[in-house]
């Protein structure tokens, strides 16, 4: 059982490492801090709940079952962290968020203190590593301590389920899927862990033996809940990294064309640089290179290619992209040959600089990736294959 619990703790802990790659920046973000604190506390709960850890803690302290209030206190702290995460996730005025967080911490702080006091008052001299909840279900003070931590944990999981259901209706894509995974994990935690233990404890009160629900059923379901919650936390970030990696690759033709004139600082290299960081560096460097090449834009090239593409029946947006790709290719050739700027040079905004994000740059890169098949852009031919259209643009303006 300890191996399963330690594995769940490892998965939970690695989630926080993957979510927070830049600790200094993350510490300035309350949402990032609350997310990682809740995940780390969840990992500590699994570590503390492992029978091997319980035996070691009991031996080090010399107090039988000292691991019980330690584990239950960690569960209460984790439940509080989950609610704080939800408060920060929902957002709102900072004074209101701060008040709600302080109230939540105060309530669960009292709960942790009550767990410790009840354990101190109880008579729990027999060490139990796997069935403490059911073994001491009828023991004064221990009974109340067990019920308190179960009710406190159940409340936070049910609130998390309700909030995830509400938010999942307002968002879409990977975030909605992530919320559903978190909701499924919280539901399994509430039903599979808390409810199973409550039924086992109630059975002891009634004189029956359903200890297997607490010792055999609850721990694996808690591990499964942790796995689902971890997947829910990671999914939006993983999808964003995958899309960044795809955009980084699609920008390669454009970067290969303009990299020689870019004056942006060289990006840091290393395996630890994730796709989003690499994409950000490439995007900044490309925009810098476009500014350098702007004086070399020959609008006669652009107009010839655009008119040729329109006559060939291409949509205006595709014709504009083809014309800008041809003009940019010609500008890069002039800059590399150290030629003088053309007489028709003037101020012009590329479509890629008019839209936010990397979408415009990707379109331009794909237009470069499909060069004219017969005549070079310098000769005024339109590309034989153009990139896909996203929207109908306004007419290009030449100052």
pLDDT for 246 beyond 50: yes
Cα–Cα distances (Å) from 360 to 46, 123, 244, 387, 390, in that order, read: 47, 70, 14, 11, 10
Mean of the pLDDT values across residues 326-344? Answer: 87
- What pLDDT is recorded for position 369? 67
Residues 368 and 254 sit within 8 Å (Cβ to Cβ): yes
Mean pLDDT for the stretch of residues 185-213: 93
- pLDDT higher than threshold 90 for residue 20: no
Which class in CATH covers the domain with range 2-241?
mainly alpha
Residue 370 has pLDDT above 70, yes or no: no
- Single pTM value for the model: 0.73
Query: 326 or 397: which carries more pLDDT confidence?
Result: 326
- C-alpha 192/C-alpha 187 separation (Å) is 8
| CA 158 to the chain's CA centroid | 22
Place of tokens 């690695």: 14
Domain spans, the chain = 2-241, 261-379
How many Å apart are CA 144 and CA 65, to the nearest integer? 16
- Is pLDDT above 80 for 273? no
pLDDT at 319 over 70: yes
What average pLDDT does the segment 145-149 reach? 94
Q: Which two tokens stand for residue 129?
A: 């590593």
What pLDDT does residue 16 have?
58
Residue 358 confidence (pLDDT): 87
Whether the per-residue pLDDT at 383 is higher than 70: the answer is no
Quick check: 23 pLDDT over 80?
no
Average of per-residue pLDDT values in the chain: 82
Mean pLDDT of the 247-274 span: 80
Dump pLDDT digits (tens) for 55-112: 999 999 999 999 999 999 999 998 998 889 888 877 788 899 999 999 999 999 999 9
**pLDDT above 70 coverage of the chain, percent:** 83
The arithmetic mean of pLDDT across residues 17-40, rounded, is: 67
- pLDDT higher than threshold 60 for residue 47: yes
Cβ contact 100:87 at 8 Å: yes
Using CB atoms within 10 Å of the CB of residue 206, give its burial: 0 to 12 exposed, 13 to 18 middle, 19+ buried: exposed
Across 219-242, average pLDDT: 84
**Which phi-psi region, left, alpha or beta, contains residue 50 (left: φ > 0; alpha: ψ -120 to 50)?**
beta
pLDDT (mean) for 272-281: 81
Say how many C-beta atoms besides its own lie within 10 A of residue 340's C-beta: 9
- Mean pLDDT of all residues in 319-341: 90
Check residue 204 and give its pLDDT: 94
């Amino acid at each position: 059982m300890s191996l399963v619990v330690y594995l769940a703790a490892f998965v939970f802990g690695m989630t926080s490492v993957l979510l927070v790659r830049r600790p200094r920046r993350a510490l300035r973000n309350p949402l990032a801090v609350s997310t990682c604190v809740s995940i780390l506390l969840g990992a500590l709960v699994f570590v503390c709940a492992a029978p091997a850890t319980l035996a070691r803690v009991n031996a080090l302290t010399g107090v039988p079952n000292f691991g019980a209030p330690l584990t239950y206190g960690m569960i209460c702290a984790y439940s509080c962290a989950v609610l704080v995460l939800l408060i920060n996730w929902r957002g709102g005025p900072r004074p209101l968020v701060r008040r709600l967080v302080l109230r939540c911490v105060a309530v669960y702080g009292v709960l942790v203190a009550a767990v410790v006091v009840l354990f101190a008052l109880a008579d729990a001299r027999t060490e139990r590593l796997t069935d403490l909840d059911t073994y001491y279900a009828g023991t004064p003070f221990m009974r109340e301590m067990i019920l308190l931590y179960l009710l406190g944990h159940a409340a936070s999981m049910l609130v998390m389920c309700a909030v995830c259901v509400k938010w999942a209706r307002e968002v879409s894509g990977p975030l909605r899927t992530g919320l559903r995974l978190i909701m499924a994990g919280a539901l399994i935690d509430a039903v599979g862990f808390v409810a199973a233990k409550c039924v086992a404890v109630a059975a002891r009160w009634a004189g029956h033996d359903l200890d297997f629900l607490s010792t055999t059923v609850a721990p694996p379901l808690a591990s499964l809940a942790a796995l689902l919650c971890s997947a829910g936390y990671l999914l939006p970030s993983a999808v964003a990294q995958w899309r960044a990696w795809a955009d980084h690759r699609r920008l390669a033709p454009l970067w290969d064309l303009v990299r020689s004139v870019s004056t942006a600082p060289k990006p840091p290299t290393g395996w630890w640089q994730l796709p989003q960081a690499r994409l950000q560096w490439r995007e900044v460097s490309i925009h810098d290179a476009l500014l350098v090449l702007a004086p070399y834009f020959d609008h006669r090239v652009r107009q010839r290619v655009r008119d040729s593409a329109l006559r060939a029946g291409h949509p205006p947006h595709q014709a504009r992209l083809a014309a800008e790709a041809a003009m940019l290719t010609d500008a890069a050739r002039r800059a590399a040959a150290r030629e003088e700027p053309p007489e028709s040079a003037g101020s012009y905004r590329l479509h890629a600089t008019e839209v936010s994000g990397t979408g415009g740059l990707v379109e331009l890169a794909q237009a470069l990736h499909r060069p004219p098949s017969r005549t070079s852009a310098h000769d005024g031919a339109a590309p034989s294959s153009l990139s896909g259209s996203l929207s109908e643009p306004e007419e290009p303006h030449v100052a």
